[in-house]
Amino acid sequence: MANTSNINIRIDADLKNQAEHVFGELGLNLSAAMTVLLKNSVRCGGFPFDMRIPPKPRAMQDLTREELHAELEKGYQSMLAGDVHDFDEVFDKLESGIRL
């Protein structure tokens, strides 16, 4: 067996339970999940995911006419490209809390 070391961390109990559930669905325990995170962090030289604060969505009334037009055009082009979801599928996913 490889030379191992312990790490002790304090986290919110609810967060721990949620993480155990997510990783359990993937067939991992917390120890294996942390190993994956740490190996990927070493491999890429930092967090293996984006660590930026996401921009806050802007209200429609805060957009300029040009910005609103650009957003509407993006949505229209997305629809033309077939990037659409059936209403029932979206509703079911919202009810179950799963992202599209």
pTM for this entry: 0.51
Residue 30 sits at φ, ψ, to 5 deg, of: -60, -35
Chain segment 23-73, per-residue pLDDT in tens: 999 999 999 999 999 999 999 999 998 888 878 888 888 899 999 999 999
Distance from CA of residue 76 to its chain's centroid? 25
How many of the other CB atoms lie within 10 Å of CB of 40? 13
Residue 31 sits at φ, ψ, to 5 deg, of: -65, -45
Chain segment 8-30, per-residue pLDDT in tens: 999 999 999 999 999 999 999 99
